[in-house]
Structure 1
Amino acid sequence: MSQRTLGPNSYEGQHEHRAPSDCPVCGEHLSVTRLGCTSCGTELAGMFAACPFCSLGSAELDLLRVFLTSRGNLREVEKHLGVSYPTARQRFGEVLVRLGLAEEPGPSAPAAAPPASAPKTRDQILAEVAAGRLSPAEAQRLLSAG
Structure 2
Amino acid sequence: MDTRKLYHAPADCPVCGDNLVTTSKGCLTCGTQIAGEFASCEFCALGEADLDLLKVFLSSRGNLREVEKFLQVSYPTARARLDAVLVKLGLAPAGAVAEPADEPAAADAEPSEYGDEHVVAETPEQQILARVARGEISPEVAAQLLA
Equivalence for 2:73? 83
Q: TM-score, normalised by structure 2?
A: 0.62
User: Number of residues paired by the alignment?
Assistant: 104
Q: Distance in 2 between matches of 1:33 and 1:81?
A: 36
Equivalence for 1:129? 101
Aligned-pair distance for 1:44?
Answer: 1.0
Equivalence for 1:18? 8
Give the letter for the 1:84 counterpart: S
Identity of aligned residues (%): 56
Q: Secondary structure at 2:43's aligned position in 1?
A: helix
- Give deviations 1:39-85, integer Å, cap 9, x for gaps: 22121111112112222111111111111111101111112111111
Q: Distance in 2 between matches of 1:79 and 1:40?
A: 42
Q: Please say if 1:55 is aligned against 2:35.
A: no
Equivalence for 2:54? 64
Aligned-pair distance for 1:106?
Answer: 6.9
Equivalence for 1:98? 88
* Distance change in 2, residues 1:93/1:43 (3 Å): same
Q: Secondary structure at 1:45's aligned position in 2?
A: strand
Q: Please say if 1:37 is aligned against 2:37.
A: no
Q: Secondary structure at 1:33's aligned position in 2?
A: strand
Q: Distance in 2 between matches of 1:23 and 1:72?
A: 33
Q: Distance in 2 between matches of 1:65 and 1:99?
A: 15
Q: Distance in 2 between matches of 1:98 and 1:47?
A: 23
Which of 13, 17, 35 aligns to 1:27? It is: 17
Aligned-pair distance for 1:107?
Answer: 9.9
Q: TM-score, normalised by structure 1?
A: 0.62
Give the letter for the 2:30 counterpart: C
Identify unmatched segments of 5+ residues in structure 1: 1-5, 7-11, 109-126, 133-146
Give the letter for the 1:48 counterpart: F
CA RMSD of aligned residues (A): 2.5
